Amino acid sequence: MKWRCLAALPLPPKKTVDEQVATQAQFLQEKLEPTLAQAEAGQGHVFFVDAAHFVMGSFLACVWCWVRQFIRGGSGRKRYNVLGAWNPVGRQLVRITNATVVNAETMGLLLRTIAGLGLVGPITLFLDNARYQHCKQVMALAQELGIRLEFLPSYSPNLNLIERLWKFVKKQVLYGRHYATFADFQRAIDDCLDKVPTDHQAELKTLMTTKFQTFDKVSFLAA
């Protein structure tokens, strides 16, 4: 008799490809675009929230060399966490950083920081579906501060603008570079983020637009 481990079997998808495409399109049309339109009209504020976990190491780009080269790598798995919130209308970045873990307490700090900006009008945060964002502690604090939380559909990084910022930072700071110490690694990331409204303003103006890439059934199947 042959035995088969059921735990090793892949779980069936919760939604079909057609359902996933329809869910994204509906969310974009009914929630995301109208909320952004209100913010652009001065009737509220929108932030896109996500955490980036930058792991210290050597990130190679395109390297061509006639002789063999040995490149030092980072020791261990130290990482620098950045929980960020991007306001596409005011082109403003709010961030909480640490070298430990992003959890409900970290999310609470971000909510209190946003509430402390003194913004007039409703505040809406668009988030992914990280577990710590859904916990009772975070939900209760958001309600207390008058901040509305809107969760993006599953598997929808294309609808979260701040994902583009994380890719930009990696390209600017990590690719093709090695940092001798973790302090240097942190400093480089912080320096890049500090220059978002100044040195990087022109590049980010074209990158961080509110035009969202959407997918049809064919592109989902090809992914």
* CA nearest neighbour of 96 among 141, 202, 176, 104: 104
Q: Which CATH number fits domain 19-56+78-222: 3.40.640.10, 3.30.420.10, 3.40.1190.20, 3.20.20.140?
A: 3.30.420.10
Task: Outline where DSSP puts E strands in the chain.
Answer: 45-55, 79-87, 92-98, 123-127, 147-151
Per-residue pLDDT tens for 167-206?
Answer: 999 999 998 888 889 999 999 999 999 999 999 999 999 9
CA distance 35 to 124: 8
pLDDT at 76: 57
Domain ranges of the chain: 19-56+78-222
Give the max Cα distance, the chain: 69
pLDDT at 178: 84
Per-residue pLDDT tens for 118-144?
Answer: 999 999 999 998 999 999 999 999 999
